[in-house]
Structure 1
Amino acid sequence: MMVRIMPDRLQCLAMALGPTARRRRLGAHLAELRENAGLSFAEVGEHMGASPQTIRNWEKGQASMKKMELAALMDLYDAPHEVRQTLEDARREGSKRSWWSTYRLPEWFKPYVGLETDAALVCNFEQELIPVLLQTEDYARAIHTSGGHITDPEDVEKRVAARMQRQRRLLDKDNPLELRAVISEAALYRKVGGRKAWSEQLEHLLALGERPNVMFQVIPYEAGAHASMASGFTVLSFAEPTDPDVAYMDGLLGGHVIEDNSDVTLLKNLFDELRSSAMPQRESIDLVREIAPGQP
């Protein structure tokens, strides 16, 4: 039975997207084709000579495909020519090297960077540090060198450079990334990198806080216990409605992307609770100004 994907959905793959977004949307189309064909992961895997998990990974956009593998799937699903060509274009683009491939990032972190690069909105809660997308270069460098076990000395400058590159989307004139951040008051007082780096970091935070696409709120000490005392986290949302939100959490031993809908929803609700416990944007800016040395 021939199955079809709606033309407007195919057009989404023609948009200017990064490799990660293209793999995710390619995967979504593959899932639709498989479901329309009434086939299970096991049945497709048997036909392809692959495991059911491999098929799942393709549909989640977590693994690249070879041209012959996609062609074999298209034959199995009896996909029409226009679908085959569009999905092959997406597969080819999704297999290209990403901008972060030269920055020696940990393997466990690369999937998140790819998703963040394509996100429209980042919601981030941090307890002890200024959020990554709001950090200065010296502040970021101090974090990477604060413990010998954290970052290999040979990788420090590349990691700092990658962090600065990620921030450039906040300054994009045509399509700026929206950032909503909640910060613990403790992070404002922690003199990461020494007094000079700390002072410059607070000034940088004030400058970015005036941008229309950047909002940060501070949870004051007086708020007491809040909804996420254990750890920070990030939730990413995308411009295309068919791209589901994802979340991310990390720690000393690495991090992981969270895709389960119920878990992502829980963290989104948690972020809303944190925002309700935090000071409004203007009061948060006033607090940073009071703490920052040399501010009037």
Structure 2
Amino acid sequence: MASNVNPTVRRRRLGQELRRLRELKGMTAEEVAERLLVSQSKISRLENGRRSISQRDVRDLCSVYEVEDHRVVDSLMQMAKDSRQQGWWHAFGDIPYSVYIGLETDAASLRVYESLIVPGLLQTRDYAEAVISGMWPEATPAEVEKRIQVRLKRQDRLSDPDGPLRFWAVIDEALLRRVVGTERIMADQLEHLAQLSAQPHVTLQVLPYSVGAHPGMYGKFAILEFADALDASVVYLEGVTSDLYLEKANDVQSYTVMYEHLRAKALSAEQSREFILQVAAEYAH
């Protein structure tokens, strides 16, 4: 279940409000940085929610922007305090994609395209262990286990009794055919996919080889949307050493259109379930 105080989302909201105040003042990030004797990159990180914001930062910025309404200042200060709390994922130590987990935890809906790996929220434990070990060969058993536990904990969003995540996945046939672990693990994984896809809030579509070239050949991506209108949608692009978060309306719209093309080319949800069970049977026998 999403936390009432999600530090990642609070940082985003606070950063958006600070950017709005700066723009109302007619100042550039460079000018603000010069006034506060800090780097421009710090101002940018504060505004895009990628860095924790202290109450002192908020106070100094409100002073520069000449915010006179004490209620506004107090509200921003409280948001800064909330944004420094720890989400459930912090208990697992250093997680490279913790920003994404924070967004996923608070998202109302998630649309993903995957070409090579079963989406993390749909993985069985055995599949997760095999794929994590294969993609991170230098990891110790303890490190692999930690990532497995984080992945399994993330899956709670699909069974949240107070409002499960609305999940839509378009997956390439290639990830069904690639044997991760053993054929028995693959059979179990695909049967698990079929079971999950029968839930009303989970939609799964397979993009078969027969469609040929398609927009998803650029690579996997995710589109996160939130219930609160103040929280803009985000496109997430995962990298090896760093991740990319796109929040500009034009970028989100481009990926949304791309996703609609993928949905149109993919098999229907019912056809996809039958196809997945067919491949699972091939592995089982």
Normalising by structure 2, we get a TM-score of 0.90
- For 1:180 and 1:46, the matched residues in 2 are separated by 45
CA distance 1:136–1:184, change in 2 (3 Å): same
Match of 2:205 among 210, 217, 223: 217
Of stretches 15-24 and 97-106 in structure 1, the one that deviates more from structure 2 is 97-106
Question: 1:88 corresponds to which residue?
Answer: 77
**Residue 262 of structure 1: CA displacement?**
3.1
Q: 1:72 to 1:263 in 2, by over 3 A?
A: same
Distance 1:252 1:34, change over 3 A: closer
Partner residue, 2:91: 102
Q: Which residue of 2 aligns with 1:16?
A: 4
CA drift at 1:104 = 4.1
Offset of 1:190 from its aligned partner? Answer: 2.5
Which residue pairs with 2:50 in the alignment?
62
Q: 1:182 to 1:150 in 2, by over 3 A?
A: farther
1:289 — aligned with what? 277
Tell me the distance in 2 between the aligned counterparts of 1:252 and 1:61: 21
Q: Does 1:72 align with 2:48?
A: no
- Give the one of 173, 177, 185 matched to 1:185: 173
Cα distance, 1:250 vs structure 2: 2.5
Between the aligned partners of 1:92 and 1:268, the Cα distance in structure 2 is 34
Structure 1 residues 170-249: aligned runs within 5 Å: 170-249=158-237
Gaps spanning 5+ residues in structure 1: where? 1-14
8 Å CA contact 1:126–1:183 kept in 2: the answer is yes
Distance 1:182 1:52, change over 3 A: same
Of the three residues 1, 18, 25, the one matched with 2:13 is 25
Q: Segments of 4+ in structure 1 off by > 6 A? A: none
Q: Percent identity?
A: 36
Q: Which residue of structure 1 aligns with residue 114 of structure 2? A: 126
- Shift of the 53–255 alpha-carbon distance from structure 1 to 2, 3 Å rule, reads closer
Q: Structure 2: where are the runs of 5+ without partners? A: none
Alignment correspondent of 1:267:
255
Determine the C-alpha separation between the residues in 1 that align with 2:138 and 2:268: 34
State the secondary structure of the residue aligned to 1:292. Answer: helix
Q: Which amino acid aligns with 2:191?
A: E
Deviates more, 1:158-167 or 1:61-70: 61-70
Across the aligned residues of Structure 1 and Structure 2, the Cα RMSD in angstroms comes to 2.1
Q: 2:36 aligns with which of 2, 23, 48?
A: 48
How many corresponding residue pairs? 280
Q: 1:32 to 1:260 in 2, by over 3 A?
A: closer
Residues 17 and 118 in structure 1, CA contact (< 8 A), matched pair in contact too = no
User: 1:100 is aligned with what amino acid?
Assistant: W
Letter in 2 for 1:110: S
Checking the alignment, whether the CA contact within 8 Å between 2:67 and 2:73 is kept in structure 1 is: no
- For residues 148 and 91 of structure 1, do their structure 2 counterparts lie closer, same or farther at Cα, with a shift above 3 Å needed? closer
- 8 A Cα contact 1:182 1:218, kept in partner: yes
Of 247, 250, 253, the match for 2:238:
250
Greater Cα offset, 37-46 or 271-280: 37-46
**Distance change (3 Å), C-alpha of 1:104 and 1:197:** farther
Matched position secondary structure for 2:68 = coil
For 1:93, the aligned partner's letter is D
Alignment partners' CA distance in 2, 1:134 and 1:115: 18
Shift of the alpha carbon at 1:117? 1.6
- Greater per-residue helix proportion: 2
